[in-house]
Amino acid sequence: MALHTLDTLASRLGGPLAGTRVIVRCDLNVPLKDGVITDDGRVRASVPTLQALIDQGARVVVCSHLGRPDGAPDPKYSLAPVAHRLSELLGAPVAFATDTVGASARETVAGLADGEVAVIENLRFNPGETSKDDATREAFARELAELGAALVSDGFGVVHRKQASVYDLARLLPSVAGLLIAAEVDVLDRLTEKPERPYAVVLGGSKVSDKLGVIAHLLPRVDKLLVGGGMMFTFLAAQGHAVGASLLEKDQLDTVRGYLDTARERGIEIILPVDAVVAASFDASADHVVADADALEDTPFGASGLGLDIGPRTAEAFAAAIRSSTTVFWNGPMGVFEMPAFAAGTKAVAQALTEVNGLSVVGGGDSAAAVRQLGFSDDSFGHISTGGGASLEFLEGKKLPGLEVLGWEQ
């Protein structure tokens, strides 16, 4: 079945959206520091769907989680800063309810006029949102359902969770996918089922074990697999290279050797680093040198040296492989990009993605944060995923309950 999308909502309701209260489940789980949003990417990503509903005269009730408050109110996880930022982005007042389904939520929602927006407090302040007990979860969903006549599910980052606002609420109300989810599904489907070739996947981040399912599912589908970040040292060790004190998952060596064998048998090109930036310690000001991948311990730091970024020759090779591809999916930084001395590899990969003549996809929260921190605008890329773990599970071929309930079948 095809995904039920926003343009079918009016027909599913049997009439126009004007005057109708519509609940929108967003993913506004943004990083906060001292109550200030440090990356508003997810808030900005929610705006197109909200604006589309506003333009049709719907009375919009926004709900989301933020952090892990353990089922009880916690001021540091309040969505109040998000409501304020949303108001700035929409250029209109946004009402804020100080609870989820209590008196404040009911009063705030009842006060909405056509085209107005309200945000209710963090869903995870209510234990019913994430309960493993079906009855408890459904009871909370029924209370949420009283706030609106329909649901637009637009938080792709939570569609892999069987949670009250994602799954149970969608079973209780006429429900469709918002523009963000529809776009995510379209892009991820293209990455798994019908990529234009040549197709390159660039994986980084710290651990191979975080990407096992993605590698296994995508490896037979790609033309090139590029491996950087902390996980590259497990690949290098699997080839017999000493990696000093660099991040190494010894229990994954046999698995990685299996990937290398599979790639060789299928004619898939795995591009591994030929050099790395090795540091004396994990510190922004640490002494560091560039070393060949087969000589990582032949530095002044010996076996205590830490690889913290791909080297310049690797960055050049990765960039060339990316630019020569028509479809590119990137998940995971190439190094410790938060430290300027170890950000060059990630920046080179990001720059190359902006030059792809085709579809370039940035996936994963760390990669999205990296491109913004390094000065790239979102529209420099074909698509920046907001899905996090949900995107990875989609790419692993897993069924996602929050999509299935909207009619999607992988």
In terms of DSSP H, where are the helices of 324-388?
Answer: 344-354, 365-373
168 is in an annotated binding site: no
Name the burial class of residue 353, with classes exposed (0-12), middle (13-18) and buried (19+) by CB atoms within 10 angstroms of its CB.
Answer: buried
> Sign of the C-alpha dihedral, residues 160, 162, 166, 168?
positive
365 is in an annotated binding site: yes
53 is in an annotated binding site: no
Under DSSP, is residue 407 helix (H, G, I), strand (E, B) or coil? Answer: coil
Cβ neighbours of residue 182 closer than 8 Å, sequence gap 6 or more: 3, 5, 6
357 is in an annotated binding site: no
What number of other Cβ atoms are within 10 A of residue 374's Cβ? Answer: 16
CA angle 296, 300, 301 (to 5 degrees): 65
367 is in an annotated binding site: yes
Tell me if the bond preceding 220 is cis, omega within 30° of 0.
no
Specify the DSSP element, H or E, that contains 225. strand 224-227
- Residue among 207, 221, 313, 323 flagged as catalytic: 207
27 is in an annotated binding site: yes
CA–CA gap between residue 195 and residue 358 (Å, rounded) = 10
114 is in an annotated binding site: no
366 is in an annotated binding site: yes
- Residue among 42, 59, 137, 347 flagged as catalytic: 42
116 is in an annotated binding site: no
DSSP codes joined into one string, 68-99: --TTS--GGG-SHHHHHHHHHHHTS-EEE-SS
Indicate the Cα dihedral angle 307, 310, 314, 319, nearest 10°: 170
Residue 389 annotated among the catalytic residues of the structure: yes
- Residue among 19, 57, 382, 389 flagged as catalytic: 389
In the numeric block, which tokens belong to residue 346?
Answer: 């990630």
Residue 59 annotated among the catalytic residues of the structure: no
Name the burial class of residue 196, with classes exposed (0-12), middle (13-18) and buried (19+) by CB atoms within 10 angstroms of its CB.
Answer: exposed
28 is in an annotated binding site: yes
- Residue among 155, 230, 365, 387 flagged as catalytic: 365
21 is in an annotated binding site: no
Answer whether 184's CB lies under 8 Å from 391's CB. yes
> Sign of the C-alpha dihedral, residues 172, 175, 177, 179?
negative
240 is in an annotated binding site: no
66 is in an annotated binding site: yes
161 is in an annotated binding site: yes
331 is in an annotated binding site: no
Answer whether 308's CB lies under 8 Å from 281's CB. no
Residue 42 annotated among the catalytic residues of the structure: yes
Give the chain's radius of gyration (CA, Å). 23
| Active site residues per annotation | 42, 207, 365, 389
Residues at the annotated binding site for ATP? 211, 307, 338, 364-367
Residues at the annotated binding site for (2R)-3-phosphoglycerate? 42, 124, 161
Residues at the annotated binding site for substrate? 27-29, 42, 65-68, 124, 161
Residues at the annotated binding site? 27-29, 42, 65-68, 124, 161, 211, 307, 338, 364-367
